[in-house]
Structure 1
Amino acid sequence: MHGDAEWGSIPGLVRAAAERYADAEAVVEGRTRISYVELGARVERAAAACVANGVGLGDRVAIWAPNTLDWIVSALGAVSAGAVLVPLNTRFKGAEAADVLRRSGARLLFVTGTFLGTSYVASLRRAAGEGAGSGPLPGLPALEQVVVLSDDAPADFRTWKDFLASGEGVGEAEVRTRADSVAPAMPSDIIFTSGTTGRPKGAVITHAQTLRAYEIWSDLAGLRTGDRYLIVNPFFHTFGYKAGVIACLTRGATMIPQPVFDVATVLANIAAERISVLPGPPTLHQSLLDHASRDAYDLSALRLVVTGAAVVPLRLVERLKGELGVDTVLTAYGLSEASGIVTMCRRGDDPSVIASTSGRAIPGTEVRVAAATPGTPGEVLVRGFNVMRGYYEDKAATAEVLTPDGWLRTGDVGVLDDAGNLRITDRLKDMFIVGGFNAYPAEIEQLLALHPDVADIAVIGIPDTRLGEVAKAFVVRRKNAVLTSDDLIAWARREMANYKVPRVVEFVAELPRNASGKVVKGKLRGRAGRQP
């Protein structure tokens, strides 16, 4: 087993991978195929450009783009220049992205051109085009440059090609010196999670934590050299970037990034690229198994599936093994505040354990449940090397979740069995998961409350056959308002990421509240046909 000490930092890992797996295929994107040596060279060019443009150790560099080769190169380039990466959710609208850019103090932003019919640049201009700053987006004074990952860019912004060319005066030795000055204990990234308060919080994770966690992940999953890994999990999420890009770098596996989840594309990619590794939420694998033309594709190379985050039916595990011949199906549990990984099943675990639990604590960590008696549900607590350094510039929020003796309060409710397997039974904070995305009712409620006709609002998750769960909103209209559910849903689609948008709206005269004024969500779940 290689160790984080061997590489020291993510730039050290990139260089080691370029040497160790030199001619092996590193990334496949359409007709573009690049080897590990070529990937290393491209990352160094991107790092040189970051250095040339004043990016220093510890500066925040953000990226707002789908899964592509350019995302991999620009992100690893920034990190190799000593920057702290701030990935932005591609589902964000302009105001949501601007808020994270402002709070992280990002100096440089890599942004996609147009994605899914949306111009990210235009949405940012609308959200941050006015203000006292002098940079490309006056509403974001710390942001000095915006690099558009395409062949053309509007005035005040730069193209990717132009940005790379600007680094040509920075020599290889200077780039290597900078990369070598990145210490293991330095932050490698800040992953912003939507907190239940509705305000995103940035979990600060170091190079050493990242490398150790995903060395362990690769080891437990059995990822190996020559594996071909279809990365559908978004790169802005730990599951995509770290269990994807970083894990592949540790083992010399081939990355095939897929920017949009589309079942037909997944099937075509598995067949054409002989995909052997396909992690993702259970909905991804369920839709794969149920696709009408599945039998038309050769899926025989598939050997490893890692899933989790939501309920995993035993039937799903059995079908993956029986119908698709997948050797290894594993479940795991993690959160951004714990480097994205807390527990994981082991190869050889019984299918019932894999389906009904998220496995056991990974090496170097402890998991306990704060319950009155063993075997009963309680809040899941984690302690170990994987726990974040804290929330970025938010001491109060950090103090709420990190105990003085190092335990992270996850906010999830779970049960530990005698073998140490963790089963997540509930979400302390009412979070629900929409097609693999965490949705937080408090955040959605705050956004919906901005509608002029909404007097009071409560949101819960309800079951959905396609996405697992979706939002349902209980709304009290303002006096004399004639707001319809269609009106509110259409408004919400303009104001928030699609996965947060309620699919069902029910108008009520008042919300059920307890003596202290809090909404009794259990009663709402009962009305919606869910158990409290």
Structure 2
Amino acid sequence: MSSPRQTPQHPAPPATLARLPAFAAAAYGDLEALADGEVRWTFARLDVEIAAAARAAVALGVRPGDRVALWAPNSRQWITAALGAVGVGAVLVPVNTRYKPAEAADVIRRSGARVLFTERGFLGTDYVEALHGSGEDLGALAATVVLRDAGAGTPPDGVPVHSSGHSSAQSSVHSWEAYLRAGERVPERERLARLAAVRPTDLSDILYTSGTTGRSKGVMTTHGQSVRLYDSWSRLVTLRPGDRYLLVNPFFHTFGYKAGVLACLLRGVTMLPEAVYDTDRILHRMAAERVSCLMGPPTVFHGLLEHPGRATHDLSALRLAGTGAAAVPTALVERIRGELGAPDVFTAYGLTESGGVVSVCPTDADAPTLAHTVGLPLPDTEVRITDPLGRVLPAGEPGEVQVRGYHVTTGYLDDPASTAEAVLADGWLRTGDIGVLDARGYLAITDRLKDMYVVGGFNAYPAEVENVLLTHPAITDAAVVGAPDERLGEVGVAFVVTTEPVTAAHLTAWTRERLANFKVPRRFTTVAELPRNAGGKLQKAPLRRAAREEREERS
């Protein structure tokens, strides 16, 4: 059991992310900050590398407030490029590595990014060629820096690239090495002056939502918000100096970047970045690097637990495991503690518009509490549950989760209408999630407003059905969506991942014993895996399409 007296004292955090590398160097200097392949840096060395990247940004012409996009997988270059640019007042715009060129170009153009950091050859893709040859409008993009090149080689540094799109700016391509060399002529005093000019209220990043309900929106966050939030979060989840944190969550995602990179710098934790999640590799690296912290969606932990070679790897260093989703089975929490040997387990809830975190369930909570709630709101964070008319509901009543606090976004970039819809005039953020607060103040997320469907006049919430399905011994993952029905208007359709064959008739009978009849899915489909985005979030749109198409084939 953890307690306040066991929590080590940490130095007061810096005022801005620009000051974070130097803060970490001063606080944790000789501790290992990063292990990436053969490269191992202390916090003191990491500060030096980030300072070099900051001078390079100045040499390239990056000005305070300029947007710099980063379209690349997890690596030490990602970390140094991002924090170097942010350290001289630039605004970071991470781009999803799964995006197609048109999607990436849309974010680059709408954010106004003037510089792009990317790669050549990641998973066989030349991101530079894919983007500049896509015919897409790249807006104000003026320079591209290739962090790593596993392809045919970067063109001579500074050579213009003529996009076949409609960009008004001519973009040049630079290798990472040449980018850093150019920074050598920038005086250190100029970098320090730029660093000192960054204020807590300045924008630090614009993270684009996944766009599951339409066009993605750019969520704006300030330096002060991120520092304060992840100082609080890292304390609550018990990160501490000397921990070794396997960073499998992608850095382009709020959680990967902020609960990963920023939290490690704040707490003196070693970063072990992983570019691609592969269970075989993860098991090997967890044993070889004595990993003590692992965080990810439930599928990451299911993969480890079910891997046939797990017992041959020494995972005894693992002490902290973090996960979160609408449905986390109690059995999964128990297996993480019992079979993976991690005594400290937490669940959490957040969204990009809240800086990535709203609540955290304590690491010493019992398994049912961890599985069925996402814990207590963060300090200085308010949570309320409201009905469709905005009236606040009492404990135990489900409704929309609304959040108010210092970390709620300042708004969506260039989208005042969406900002006004999401962030109410008195500062409350409408999350679009359905939840319940219990008598203790613990929050449970039960569904998304948009996922609810109506069966014969009765509201059905998929997450409730999914939670029941996940208690079946043969089901490891489940998703339920609503599909049109001539008689009832809508019915539930379940997609399940199983460890052994299970018939639809059996599952129908099994769920009828546990749910009201209108909640029982009318169809069950077994799939190899459920569609999830890079952050582990379940993507229901393709499942809805599949359910509709299946109905059409049957009719």
- Preserved CA contact (<8 Å) 1:58 1:82: yes
- Alpha-carbon distance in 2 for matches of 1:241, 1:466: 32
- Preserved CA contact (<8 Å) 2:146 2:174: yes
- Alpha-carbon distance in 2 for matches of 1:498, 1:416: 23
Amino acid at match of 2:291: I
Deviation at 1:393, TM superposition (A): 1.1
Q: Do the aligned partners of residues 368 and 506 (structure 1) sit closer, same or farther apart at CA in structure 2, a change above 3 Å counting?
A: closer
Mapping for residues 492-511 of structure 1, pairs under 5 Å: 502=542, 505=546
Report SS of the residue matched to 2:134.
helix
Partner of residue 396 from structure 1, selected from 406, 417, 421: 417
- Alpha-carbon distance in 1 for matches of 2:413, 2:330: 39
Which stretch shifts more, 108-117 or 325-334? 108-117
Partner of residue 497 from structure 2, selected from 447, 458, 465: 465
- Alpha-carbon distance in 2 for matches of 1:359, 1:42: 38
Partner of residue 42 from structure 1, selected from 21, 45, 49: 49
Report SS of the residue matched to 1:55.
coil
- Alpha-carbon distance in 2 for matches of 1:79, 1:50: 9
Report SS of the residue matched to 1:150.
strand
Deviation at 1:196, TM superposition (A): 4.6
Q: Do the aligned partners of residues 128 and 464 (structure 1) sit closer, same or farther apart at CA in structure 2, a change above 3 Å counting?
A: farther
Partner of residue 247 from structure 1, selected from 263, 268, 273: 263
1:377 — aligned with what? 398
Partner of residue 59 from structure 1, selected from 66, 77, 83: 66
Partner of residue 353 from structure 1, selected from 345, 352, 369: 369
1:449 — aligned with what? none
- Alpha-carbon distance in 1 for matches of 2:432, 2:358: 13
Report SS of the residue matched to 1:318.
helix
1:332 — aligned with what? 348
- The two structures have a TM-score, normalised by structure 1, of 0.80
- Alpha-carbon distance in 2 for matches of 1:293, 1:43: 38
2:166 — aligned with what? none
- Alpha-carbon distance in 2 for matches of 1:30, 1:461: 45
Deviation at 1:225, TM superposition (A): 0.2
Q: Which ranges of structure 1 fall in alignment gaps of 5 or more residues? A: 130-138, 434-438, 442-457, 468-496, 512-523, 528-532
Partner of residue 133 from structure 2, selected from 126, 136, 153: 126
Deviation beyond 6 Å, 4+ runs, structure 1:
497-501
1:354-386 per-residue CA deviation (whole Å, 9 max, x = no partner) reads 111111100010011114554121010000011
Mapping for residues 221-232 of structure 1, pairs under 5 Å: 221-232=237-248
Deviation at 1:239, TM superposition (A): 1.0
Q: Does 1:420 align with 2:432?
A: no
1:281 — aligned with what? 297
- The two structures have a TM-score, normalised by structure 2, of 0.77
RMSD over aligned Cα atoms: 2.7
Partner of residue 386 from structure 1, selected from 382, 387, 407: 407
1:33-69 per-residue CA deviation (whole Å, 9 max, x = no partner) reads 1111111011011100111111111111110000111
Which stretch shifts more, 387-396 or 500-509? 500-509
Q: Do the aligned partners of residues 266 and 508 (structure 1) sit closer, same or farther apart at CA in structure 2, a change above 3 Å counting?
A: closer
Partner of residue 161 from structure 1, selected from 151, 154, 177: 177
1:268-288 per-residue CA deviation (whole Å, 9 max, x = no partner) reads 110000000001111001110
Partner of residue 144 from structure 1, selected from 138, 142, 158: 142
Report SS of the residue matched to 2:148.
coil
Which stretch shifts more, 237-246 or 347-356? 347-356
Q: Do the aligned partners of residues 312 and 401 (structure 1) sit closer, same or farther apart at CA in structure 2, a change above 3 Å counting?
A: same
Q: Does 1:84 align with 2:84?
A: no
- Alpha-carbon distance in 1 for matches of 2:67, 2:363: 38
Deviation at 1:150, TM superposition (A): 2.1
Amino acid at match of 2:410: R
Amino acid at match of 1:7: P
Deviation at 1:347, TM superposition (A): 2.9
- Alpha-carbon distance in 2 for matches of 1:128, 1:85: 24
- Alpha-carbon distance in 1 for matches of 2:364, 2:119: 41
1:226-277 per-residue CA deviation (whole Å, 9 max, x = no partner) reads 0000000000011110000000001111000001010011101100000000
1:272 — aligned with what? 288
- Preserved CA contact (<8 Å) 2:11 2:27: no
- Preserved CA contact (<8 Å) 2:110 2:139: no
- Preserved CA contact (<8 Å) 1:345 1:358: yes
2:101 — aligned with what? 94
- Preserved CA contact (<8 Å) 1:343 1:361: yes
- Preserved CA contact (<8 Å) 1:100 1:192: yes
- Alpha-carbon distance in 1 for matches of 2:182, 2:229: 35
Q: Does 1:11 align with 2:11?
A: no
Amino acid at match of 1:124: L
Partner of residue 74 from structure 1, selected from 65, 81, 96: 81
1:115 — aligned with what? 122
1:517 — aligned with what? none
- Identity rate of aligned residues, in percent? 51
- Preserved CA contact (<8 Å) 2:106 2:138: no
- Alpha-carbon distance in 1 for matches of 2:122, 2:494: 29
1:530 — aligned with what? none
Amino acid at match of 1:465: V
Deviation at 1:141, TM superposition (A): 3.4
- Alpha-carbon distance in 1 for matches of 2:135, 2:202: 30
Amino acid at match of 2:357: I
Q: Do the aligned partners of residues 509 and 414 (structure 1) sit closer, same or farther apart at CA in structure 2, a change above 3 Å counting?
A: closer
Q: Do the aligned partners of residues 507 and 348 (structure 1) sit closer, same or farther apart at CA in structure 2, a change above 3 Å counting?
A: closer
- Preserved CA contact (<8 Å) 1:224 1:251: yes
Amino acid at match of 2:444: R
Question: How many aligned residue pairs are there?
Answer: 452
Mapping for residues 164-179 of structure 1, pairs under 5 Å: 164-179=180-195
- Alpha-carbon distance in 2 for matches of 1:91, 1:462: 26
Q: Which ranges of structure 2 fall in alignment gaps of 5 or more residues? A: 1-8, 161-172, 388-392, 453-461, 464-478, 482-489, 500-536
Report SS of the residue matched to 1:465.
strand
- Alpha-carbon distance in 2 for matches of 1:310, 1:256: 27
Amino acid at match of 1:95: A
Amino acid at match of 2:249: N
Partner of residue 312 from structure 1, selected from 328, 335, 341: 328
- Alpha-carbon distance in 1 for matches of 2:100, 2:93: 16
Report SS of the residue matched to 1:73.
helix
- Preserved CA contact (<8 Å) 2:345 2:364: no
Which stretch shifts more, 501-510 or 23-32? 501-510
Q: Do the aligned partners of residues 499 and 333 (structure 1) sit closer, same or farther apart at CA in structure 2, a change above 3 Å counting?
A: closer
Q: Do the aligned partners of residues 507 and 306 (structure 1) sit closer, same or farther apart at CA in structure 2, a change above 3 Å counting?
A: closer
Deviation at 1:505, TM superposition (A): 3.6
Q: Do the aligned partners of residues 498 and 112 (structure 1) sit closer, same or farther apart at CA in structure 2, a change above 3 Å counting?
A: farther
Deviation at 1:507, TM superposition (A): 6.5
Q: Does 1:407 align with 2:405?
A: no
